[in-house]
Structure 1
């Protein structure tokens, strides 16, 4: 019985490892790009368990299969461990000019606005980006308006509302549905000290799922549209938001390669922001990418605000290039 269970689980792990390699954007295929950490843990465990099988020949086969699957899965997630070289240099205090950004997918049906306001007042970010915010959330966050005089409001009741709160002046603000109607993104310049302008793109594309888009095509298209827009640009750039994609997916890898932007998490950790309620099923869905004009001050996952996402707080330090 033990051998049957190990064999069956190994076959399942083999299938979920191979399915993302199929030339398909269907959510049933792409969803297995997310739990690579969990699959790696399971395949390592199965490889160890296989040593205790009574049949030496079967043990060799199962240890070999699970060992190869483990190596393959770990190769994807390895850049987001502390064993990998950091991609973004750590800034040395004191900082001449920095931008502290908090992104928070609040979960539209969650009404714990007081917890988010408390985090904002505690950490004093320069920019706050809220996702899934409807009219209720817009009204509930009015207490921070005096601290954030520059705002962009897009309240929606379809889980894709978006609000931007900034202490910096905003210029050339555009609120666009890049790919899908009703899925907005915010594009603008933040004007820092000494009239330094940073081009920012705040995104929240729809995920591939049985309840939303059956394929990942719209999400992938939105990320690649931005990647191509910023490719080759010499101005300071920041792209952030809930991208509904994991950091190690082929799409996000293509985004980084095409855009030339850097990921401050590489070599530092995954900073898993979803799902807040299930510790063993978490992935990095909330991202921040930036041009070479920045070094990293801090990046940290914030405490729960009763959403399915944890807020992400990042401080990028501007350096002259």
Structure 2
């Protein structure tokens, strides 16, 4: 097969080998083009209907099946995927495919936003009280330091600039333990044997009255990690502040998913057993997105509310291998508080070398 083209030097002919000539003739056939278009439409339709069925079944299946709950980590990404399928279906889909794609978009958006309209602190409703936060609030910073992160300067600089009253850390190696001990203005530290406390640490401007590991007894004897419970003496007549520092397993496989769920069950029971008048903060790396039924179950059982409210939550867990782009991550570091406390501000801090971003919460009392 030969073809030619015109340029400034005249007509140039190209001779293709017989094998390539047959391939070119095949792709130039109208029948092949029509079949390719038909296959593409079928694949688009199959993908849209699969996503619709998956979305409908995923929510009730999340409490029973690991993969279904794992999808909750990527709920904003599912919304984006659904919208992309909707756009493509408008251009090339059948009428039924367009209808299914529109249902997928609406359903995923509803599931994402509706969950966030659940047990959270309404920032607008609380705005009137925020003006009275001056002198009646504390600042808390919680961060997963990341075991492989050996650069301490950025996080220590963040603490110095934010000047929090309480700092909670997870994955606190000996390097980090020594570095945090050198911070000025924090005379009260949790037990230095962080390896016995799942590598978690607290430093505080206020006295730590008590510190204990919530073991749960024989019922939770198979649990590998445990929450830490602290009582902090506050400069107010309202009594001590109860702080739970947590870091359950990352649910990367079914066994660790079960460990995380057992951890959250123990945490729920421990917090629910606190006196009704207790002022409680639960903070740390939950390894649980807000769309997970296990996170929602904790809030319903305890009556606590998440401080991070809004129709779109910023990621706190980022992926360093993907360039640490926040949008590609998911929000799993939370601060939740009891009814006796209120939100005076909630922010996500900057990158500091970890695969998590720090959370900065101003809590009124």
Counterpart of 1:243 (choices 261, 275, 286) is 286
Give the conservation status (yes or no) of the 8 Å contact 2:344–2:364.
yes
Counterpart of 2:205 (choices 163, 167, 180) is 167
Partner of 2:5: none
For residue 148 of structure 1, report the CA deviation from its aligned partner. 1.2
Partner of 2:264: 223
For residue 94 of structure 1, report the CA deviation from its aligned partner. 5.0
Counterpart of 1:191 (choices 233, 240, 260) is 233
Give the conservation status (yes or no) of the 8 Å contact 1:174–1:186.
yes
For residue 85 of structure 1, report the CA deviation from its aligned partner. 9.0
SS of the equivalent of 2:112 reads: helix
Counterpart of 1:147 (choices 177, 185, 204) is 185
For residue 207 of structure 1, report the CA deviation from its aligned partner. 1.9
For residue 130 of structure 1, report the CA deviation from its aligned partner. 0.7
* C-alpha distance in structure 2 between counterparts of 1:188 and 1:94, whole Å: 23
After superposition, the C-alpha distances for 1:86-125 in whole angstroms (9 at most, x for unaligned) are 5351311452321211000011111121111000000001
* C-alpha distance in structure 1 between counterparts of 2:214 and 2:290, whole Å: 24
SS of the equivalent of 1:156 reads: helix
Partner of 2:327: 280
Q: Structure 2 length normalisation: TM-score?
A: 0.77
Greater Rg over alpha carbons, structure: 2
After superposition, the C-alpha distances for 1:124-152 in whole angstroms (9 at most, x for unaligned) are 010111101121211222321x4211111
149-158 vs 242-251, which moves further: 149-158
For residue 229 of structure 1, report the CA deviation from its aligned partner. 2.8
* C-alpha distance in structure 1 between counterparts of 2:295 and 2:94, whole Å: 37
* C-alpha distance in structure 1 between counterparts of 2:327 and 2:311, whole Å: 20
Partner of 1:260: 303
More helix by share: 2
The answer to which structure, 1 or 2, has the higher relative contact order (CA under 8 A, 6+ apart) is: 1
Give the conservation status (yes or no) of the 8 Å contact 1:271–1:300.
no
* C-alpha distance in structure 2 between counterparts of 1:12 and 1:169, whole Å: 55
Partner of 1:270: 313
Q: Structure 1 length normalisation: TM-score?
A: 0.86
Partner of 1:62: 97
For residue 185 of structure 1, report the CA deviation from its aligned partner. 2.4
Give the conservation status (yes or no) of the 8 Å contact 1:79–1:266.
no
28-37 vs 161-170, which moves further: 28-37
Counterpart of 2:51 (choices 1, 13, 20) is 13
* Distance 1:111-1:42 versus aligned 2 partners, 3 A rule: same
Q: Provide structure 1 residue ranges, at least 5 long, that are not aligned to the other structure.
A: none
* Residue 111 of structure 2 corresponds to residue 76 of structure 1: yes
For residue 26 of structure 1, report the CA deviation from its aligned partner. 4.7
Q: Provide structure 2 residue ranges, at least 5 long, that are not aligned to the other structure.
A: 1-36
201-210 vs 180-189, which moves further: 180-189
* C-alpha distance in structure 1 between counterparts of 2:116 and 2:270, whole Å: 29
Give the conservation status (yes or no) of the 8 Å contact 1:80–1:267.
no
* Distance 1:290-1:45 versus aligned 2 partners, 3 A rule: same
* C-alpha distance in structure 1 between counterparts of 2:137 and 2:310, whole Å: 21
* C-alpha distance in structure 2 between counterparts of 1:121 and 1:150, whole Å: 16
* C-alpha distance in structure 2 between counterparts of 1:279 and 1:99, whole Å: 27
Counterpart of 1:128 (choices 154, 163, 167) is 167
For residue 235 of structure 1, report the CA deviation from its aligned partner. 1.2
For residue 273 of structure 1, report the CA deviation from its aligned partner. 0.3
* Distance 1:280-1:94 versus aligned 2 partners, 3 A rule: closer
After superposition, the C-alpha distances for 1:177-236 in whole angstroms (9 at most, x for unaligned) are 5555552422011111125311111110002113xx535222122223222333372211
For residue 66 of structure 1, report the CA deviation from its aligned partner. 2.2
